[in-house]
Amino acid sequence: MPAGISPFSCANGGGRRYSGIMSNTSSTLDVRIWRGGEDGAFQPFSVPRQEHQTVLDVVTYVQRELDPTLAYRFACRVGMCGSCGMTVNGRPRWTCRTHVETATRGSDVLELAPLRSLPIIRDLVTDMTPFFEKWQTAQGRATGSKTRADDTQKIDPASPRRQAADAAIECINCGVCYAACDVVASDPDYLGPAALNRAWTLMNDDREADRAGVLEAATAGGGCHSCHSHGSCVEHCPVGLNPSAGIAGLKRLSLLAMVGGKI
Amino acid sequence: MQAAALLFLAQRASALVLAPLVLVHLGLAIYAIHGGLTAAEILGRTQGSAGWTLFYGLFVVAAAVHAPIGLRNVLREWLGLKGLGVNLVLVGFGAVLLLLGLRAVAAVTGI
């Protein structure tokens, strides 16, 4: 819950007052925020626009100035922690690094809802438990084989497998891809792009001691073969990862393993 | 062996087989209609033909593998139907496709 950090530059929540607002938009935003649980509804708020205002700024303004009971989640405000994911005008986004201008696309309407496909706790806060449980089901955790007595394992940064791992490793666990995925929305068993992306990094990590186990977990029912390659995860990933490519890689590895009689 | 991986492979492999067969089949249908071939003329070309028997036999087998797997995904994702019962119904659906298809191939080719 927000506390102690003000994204606004003065106590009344006004901050720098709207110099440099886009000329074709009004000085206030018509904000509609989801309130309550699964059976909740949108509540309208009027929020002053500011230059370079982020969606998280808007939510914080509402909570501090208009309705202190609004529940939402954030931590770092700089796109690292992955906790401020919400549905913004129908698209899952990280709100701390999404400018209002980008999300509204020239309009004055900002509709904020919790991330899709996750249980709503209240208002904009979802229960991320299924997301992280699936992460574990996909065996998205490193298994080591060395002790402190062993030398550090040498990894060539230029090797193709390390490059593949590096390309997928910067996931911030925000759940945006999970909410964007239509297969997740329709198949509760599907592990989702983030968990499978993590499995893919492990499959390419020379330090991973249980690659067979990871592949088996990522290939089982609800695993990589459930992906329809729609690419919504790629389209919406805020840090520009390509989980679809990783999932395709897992499919490839699983078919090779199956043909080789290893799974 | 992982069932999910096996089904995935079976669906892709059968699609690979079906793609050219469907194109040839459609082209053939258009040719037959435009050319004004009668049923008797068509049967005259297919009866006893090992080539057409192989072509449509393969078509039927690939379709009988491909369709139930796709239908299974649709039932799982759109209707939430899963479990052994659904799988058995789909195996039955595939068997019906196979039997009806092979029966038609036998009738057309006479083999």
Contact A255/B at CB under 8 A: yes
Helix H or strand E segment including A168: helix A160-168
The pLDDT assigned to A7 comes to 36
Residue A119 has pLDDT above 80, yes or no: yes
The pLDDT assigned to A15 comes to 38
For chain A, domains (ranges, CATH) are: 28-126 (3.10.20.30), 129-259 (1.10.1060.10)
Residue A1 has pLDDT above 60, yes or no: no
Please tell me the total count of domains within chain B.
1
Contact A251/B at CB under 8 A: yes
Residue A43 has pLDDT above 80, yes or no: yes
Q: Between residues A174 and A23, which one has the greater pLDDT?
A: A174
Residue B41 has pLDDT above 80, yes or no: yes
Which residues numbered 147-206 in A keep a CB inside 8 Å of some CB on B? 183, 186-189
Q: Between residues A123 and B31, which one has the greater pLDDT?
A: A123
Beta strand ranges found along chain A (DSSP E): 28-35, 41-48, 85-88, 91-94, 109-113, 120-122, 125-126
Top residue of B2, B6, B9 to mutate, by most chain A CBs within 10 Å, is B2
The pLDDT assigned to A25 comes to 65
The pLDDT tens digits for A8-33 are: 333 333 333 444 445 456 799 999 99
The pLDDT tens digits for A64-85 are: 999 999 999 999 999 999 999 9
* Residues in Cβ contact with B45 at an 8 Å cutoff, skipping those fewer than 6 apart: B52
Radius of gyration of chain B (CA): 17
Residue B49 has pLDDT above 90, yes or no: yes
Contact B1 A258 (CB under 8 A): yes
- Per the document, the length of chain A is 263
Task: Kindly list the strands in the beta sheet with A91-94, ordered across the sheet, starting from the edge strand earlier in the chain.
Answer: A41-48, A28-35, A109-113, A85-88, A91-94
How far apart CA B97 and CA B63 sit, in angstroms, is 8
The pLDDT assigned to A10 comes to 36
Contact A258 B3 (CB under 8 A): no
Residue A179 has pLDDT above 70, yes or no: yes
Contact A255 B8 (CB under 8 A): yes
The pLDDT assigned to A59 comes to 98
* Residues in Cβ contact with A178 at an 8 Å cutoff, skipping those fewer than 6 apart: A115, A117, A118, A131, A184, A192, A193, A194
The pLDDT assigned to A21 comes to 47
- Per the document, the length of chain B is 111
Mean pLDDT of A37-53: 96
Q: pLDDT tier at A174 (50, 70, 90 boundaries)? A: very high
Contact B9 A216 (CB under 8 A): no
The pLDDT assigned to A9 comes to 36
Most confident of A23-32, A182-191, B25-34: A182-191
Q: pLDDT tier at B4 (50, 70, 90 boundaries)? A: confident
Contact A219 B7 (CB under 8 A): no
Mean pLDDT of A46-70: 97
Per the structure block, which two tokens stand in for A4? 């102690």
Top residue of A186, A247, A250, A263 to mutate, by most chain B CBs within 10 Å, is A186
Contact A251 B8 (CB under 8 A): yes
CATH of the domain at B13: 1.20.1300
The pLDDT tens digits for A213-245 are: 999 999 998 999 999 999 999 999 999 999 999
Cα three-residue angle A211-A212-A215, rounded to 5 degrees? 85
**How far does B12 lie from chain A, in Å, by closest CA?**
11
**How far does A187 lie from chain B, in Å, by closest CA?**
5
Residue A263 has pLDDT above 60, yes or no: yes
How far apart CA A72 and CA A70 sit, in angstroms, is 7
The pLDDT tens digits for B55-86 are: 999 999 999 999 999 999 999 888 988 889 89
Contact A258 B4 (CB under 8 A): no
How far apart CA A158 and CA A179 sit, in angstroms, is 33
The pLDDT tens digits for A33-42 are: 999 999 999 9
Mean pLDDT of A199-208: 97
Q: A218 and A247 in contact (C-beta within 8 Å)?
A: no
Give the pairing type, strands A85-88 and A41-48. Answer: unpaired
**How far does A121 lie from chain B, in Å, by closest CA?**
24
**pTM (two decimals):** 0.84
List, as one string, the DSSP characters of A204-236: T-TT-S-HHHHHHHHHSTTSGGG-----HHHHH
Q: Please choose, from the candidates A175, A193, A186, the residue with its C-alpha nearest in 3D space to the C-alpha of residue A129.
A: A175
Q: Phi, psi (5° rounding) for residue A34?
A: -65, 130
Mean pLDDT of A87-112: 96
Q: Phi, psi (5° rounding) for residue A212?
A: -65, -40
A188 contact residues in B (CB cutoff 8 A): 80
**Residue B73 belongs to domain spanning:** 3-109
3-state secondary structure of B48: coil
Contact B4 A263 (CB under 8 A): no
Q: Please choose, from the candidates A248, A214, A219, A191, the residue with its C-alpha nearest in 3D space to the C-alpha of residue A141.
A: A214
